[in-house]
Chains A and B, each alone.
Chain A
Amino acid sequence: MSTTRIAIAAALAAAIAAPLAVQAQGNVEKCYGVAKAGKNDCQTSHSSCAGTSKKDGQTDAWLAVPKGTCEKIVGGKLTSS
């Protein structure tokens, strides 16, 4: 084996052999979890009657402005909006 390959083998083996104590110290990190509600194939808007209007009641004109947490995102190219 080349020296490089020996070094790689040693590094990988060291990682595998690392004791749990090291793991607890060095690798406690926040891992964001996303719990999702179940979904199935026959989902409806709210109930089976949710779509019983003939067309959208909303016009797009007054929906053109985002109103959510994007207000918290500042800087960058956002100044153009």
Chain B
Amino acid sequence: MTLALRDLQAAMAAYLASGDGTGLAGAVAGDSIPADARLRIHRHHLHESLATALTTTFPTVRQLVGEAFFRAMARAFVAANLPAQPVLSEYGEGFAAFIDGYDRARGLPYLGDVARLDWALNVAFHNPWQSRLTAPDLATIPAEQLPAARIGLAPGTTVIRSAHPIDRIWAASQPGASSATVDLDAGGTCLLVFRQHDDSGFVALRAGEAAFASSLLAGASLEDAAFAAFAVDPGFDLSVVFRRLLDLTVFVALQQ
């Protein structure tokens, strides 16, 4: 049987997703290795490669649960979520939400948020570096124009809020970390994740800082972002926080 290329591709895609190769009958050569075995090898290889990509994109999750558990969880995700594009570093956006609903991981309620942190670090890392605004750049603006100024944050910068201490969980999962335990009852955290010169990183934010950074990310003016911060933290120190963000070099384009 000869299939048109389009039909062959559609049948192959369906097989890779479902494992049902009926549409491919007769289209694949077979000899000492039968056609269906060849297809299974290819499908298995695809799924294994994607699971391995998830291992490198979600190293903290992998460290928390171990290789065997991670691969089982990753394969379950892969089976239901084949990539829509070819870049492996962009594969896995839905993994955190998948983990939230993964029955075997329900004893680790923080695991989905740790995956969100891993993903945010991955996204920040893969954003191209571009030059950042520094204090001397902003010193050219008259002070009275600063409140209405809008300053963009570097592409890939995100604020992550979690009900769990995922920064401490992250630190405890790094190679060489001490054997000290992390107490889940220590409570939640807000993190700013961003691209640095040659890697990505994060810092913990207080509530006012998180509101300020989130507002700037949403395109607010410095003044409106400050009001958002004052609303959640009356003790918000605009000068200190603005300087902290400047020193973290997360600011890019300026629109007045």
Q: Which residues of A contact B (CB under 8 A)?
A: 1, 5-6, 8-18, 22-23, 26-27, 29, 31-37, 39-41, 43-45, 50-56, 58, 60, 62-70, 72-78, 80-81
Residues on the B chain within 8 Å of A68, using CB = 62-66, 69-70, 173
- B72 adjacent to A58 (CB under 8 Å): yes
- A74 adjacent to B182 (CB under 8 Å): yes
Give Cα A52 to B242, complex, Å: 55
Nearest A-chain residue to B36, judged by Cβ? A54
Q: State whether A5 and B248 are in contact (beta carbons under 8 Å apart), knowing that A16-B138, A16-B139, A31-B201 are contacts in the complex.
A: no
Residue in B169, B196, B243 whose beta carbon sits within 8 Å of that of A18 in the complex? B243
Task: Determine if B10 is an interface residue (Cβ-Cβ < 8 Å).
Answer: no
- B182 adjacent to A72 (CB under 8 Å): yes
Q: State whether A12 and B147 are in contact (beta carbons under 8 Å apart), knowing that A41-B86, A52-B41, A75-B185 are contacts in the complex.
A: yes
Beyond A18-B243, A35-B198, 13 additional contacts (C-beta under 8 Å) are A9-B146, A11-B239, A29-B203, A33-B199, A36-B200, A50-B45, A55-B44, A66-B64, A66-B107, A68-B64, A73-B182, A74-B182, A80-B107
- B69 adjacent to A39 (CB under 8 Å): no
Task: Determine if B56 is an interface residue (Cβ-Cβ < 8 Å).
Answer: yes
In angstroms, how far is the closest chain A Cβ from the Cβ of B28? Answer: 14
In angstroms, how far is the closest chain B Cβ from the Cβ of A63? Answer: 4
- A31 adjacent to B172 (CB under 8 Å): no
Residues on the A chain within 8 Å of B172, using CB = 69, 72-73
- B243 adjacent to A15 (CB under 8 Å): yes
- B104 adjacent to A64 (CB under 8 Å): yes
Residues on the A chain within 8 Å of B87, using CB = 41
Residues on the A chain within 8 Å of B37, using CB = 54
Q: Show 23 A/B contacts (Cβ-Cβ < 8 Å), sorted by A.
A: A6-B144, A13-B146, A17-B135, A26-B240, A26-B243, A29-B203, A31-B196, A34-B125, A51-B48, A51-B49, A54-B40, A58-B68, A66-B64, A66-B66, A67-B69, A68-B65, A68-B69, A69-B64, A70-B64, A76-B183, A76-B184, A78-B107, A78-B109
Residues on the A chain within 8 Å of B162, using CB = none
- B86 adjacent to A54 (CB under 8 Å): no
Give Cα A64 to B48, complex, Å: 19
In angstroms, how far is the closest chain B Cβ from the Cβ of A13? Answer: 4
Nearest B-chain residue to A65, judged by Cβ? B69
- B108 adjacent to A78 (CB under 8 Å): yes
Task: Determine if B160 is an interface residue (Cβ-Cβ < 8 Å).
Answer: no
Task: Determine if B77 is an interface residue (Cβ-Cβ < 8 Å).
Answer: no
Residue in B48, B185, B186 whose beta carbon sits within 8 Å of that of A45 in the complex? B48
Residues on the B chain within 8 Å of A5, using CB = 147, 223
Which residues of chain B from 187 to 211 have any CB-CB distance to chain A below 8 Å in the complex?
196, 198-203
Give Cα A40 to B201, complex, Å: 22
Residues on the B chain within 8 Å of A65, using CB = 69
Task: Determine if B179 is an interface residue (Cβ-Cβ < 8 Å).
Answer: yes
Nearest A-chain residue to B68, judged by Cβ? A63
